Structure 1
Amino acid sequence: GPQAFSEMESSFLKNLAKQQQPDIFIDVHSGTLGFYTPYSYSTNVPKTLATSQSLDIINKLNPKYCNCPAGGAGEVSGYLAYGTAQDYLFENQHVPYSIVLEVFDGNTYKEQQHHHHQQRKNHNNKSSSNNSNKDEQEDPMYCLKSSNPIDAQMLEATCENWSSA
């Protein structure tokens, strides 16, 4: 929206957090894989007991459910993000456990599912493989496919994996 909390969803979340004063906030995203604690806008990780405990839990869950980047969002994601719900709730609403789960990366899923097929490919086909990636990115459905399970098998595998976490 044009300003902070100008959209109905963000305004609702802000008001709900004020009313309920939760101890935990879990923000579920897709587009990559990751377990993140605050901060998204900085490479610094807050030195609080809750953040330390969150990192301990994340480090226990990560090898089983994700095997992906884990830690402070700005520290491990590869970019800084400003104005996130995670950081707002952690800093302004004092929600001690504020976690982002990045639960689906279509490109990673595709790689995992086709790993045994790729092993059989001739190493001389790298140039055609690179052209294939370029063609995929020019596909109008690329964004949808890279961030969302688009068939029943992908959706089931993603839900099964994360629901047991």
Structure 2
Amino acid sequence: MPYDHRNTTPPGLYSVKMRSLLEDLNRLHCHNRCMIGSGGGSVGYLAHGTATDYMYDVVRVPMAFTFEIYGDGEASSRDCFKMFNPTDLATYNRVLSDWSAAFFTIFKVAPKHIDDVSSQVTVSSPKKWESMDDYLEGYLMERSSRYGKKMEVLDLGMQEIRTYFRLFLLSFVLLMFMFCSRISKSKSLRPSMPSISL
């Protein structure tokens, strides 16, 4: 949660709700292994290079997070890859499973937390936040293609990929034709050097 570039968290109800959501995620999915707080203070270093502070303060995203998904406290500080990435299959699968579930929980629960705060704070143009789960309801089942035909999303994606591949192939053939014609043209224009015997 903000702030990544300072050792503080923002004041207000959104901050309280963010912390509450993170505590629930930590308990449900991370088995109380994760630190919770400002990215700049919790992990022991300022997290420059993230956009969390900008998203929260400037863009006004009500809940902005920076996650350090994995950390090996026993890894050498000279081995950056091992410090931040699981190196055995069992740990990799555990981290992937825990964090996938955590993100699905965020997408489902965060809008309710935001609505709770919005109902307590006077907002000039209140709007109801919709969870991604509700927004995507049925999205993966079927969509209309540009030709009006209903089809599975995977089929639609494959159709688009085939179209782009055909365009790429056509572009490639045209470029090769232009390149080859240029080479043959330059060979015919090059003056031939008479052979000189020594």
TM-score of the pair, normalised by structure 2 = 0.44
Q: Kindly provide the CA deviation profile for residues 13-69 of structure 1, in whole angstroms up to 9, marking residues without a partner as x.
A: xxxxxxxxxxxxxxxxxxxxxxxx101121221113222101011122223414221
SS at match of 2:64: strand
Q: Kindly provide the CA deviation profile for residues 111-149 of structure 1, in whole angstroms up to 9, marking residues without a partner as x.
A: xxxxxxxxxxxxxxxxxxxxxx7xx556xxx22122112
Corresponding residue number in structure 2 for 1:149: 86
* Superposition CA RMSD, Å: 2.3
Runs of 4+ in 1 over 6 A off after TM superposition: none
Distance 1:147 1:91, change over 3 A: same
2:12 is aligned with 1:75 = no
SS at match of 2:4: coil
2:26 is aligned with 1:62 = yes
Corresponding residue number in structure 2 for 1:23: none
Within 2, Cα distance between the matches of 1:38 and 1:94? 12
Q: Identity rate of aligned residues, in percent?
A: 29
Contact 2:14 2:62 in 1 (8 A): yes
Query: Among 90, 102, 122, which residue is 2:68 paired with?
Result: 102
Contact 2:4 2:47 in 1 (8 A): yes
Residue type matched to 2:67 in 1?
L
Kindly indicate which of the two structures has a greater share of residues assigned to strand: 1
**Where do 1:7-156 residues align within 5 Å?**
37-64=1-28, 65=30, 66-82=32-48, 84-107=50-73, 142-156=79-93
Within 1, Cα distance between the matches of 2:24 and 2:97? 18
Distance 1:162 1:74, change over 3 A: same
SS at match of 2:37: strand
Which structure would you say has the larger Rg?
Answer: 2
Unaligned stretches of 5+ in structure 1?
1-36, 109-132
Unaligned stretches of 5+ in structure 2?
103-198
Within 2, Cα distance between the matches of 1:85 and 1:161? 24
Residue type matched to 1:78 in 2?
G
TM-superposed deviation, 1:83: 5.0
TM-superposed deviation, 1:107: 3.7
TM-superposed deviation, 1:152: 2.5
TM-superposed deviation, 1:160: 1.3
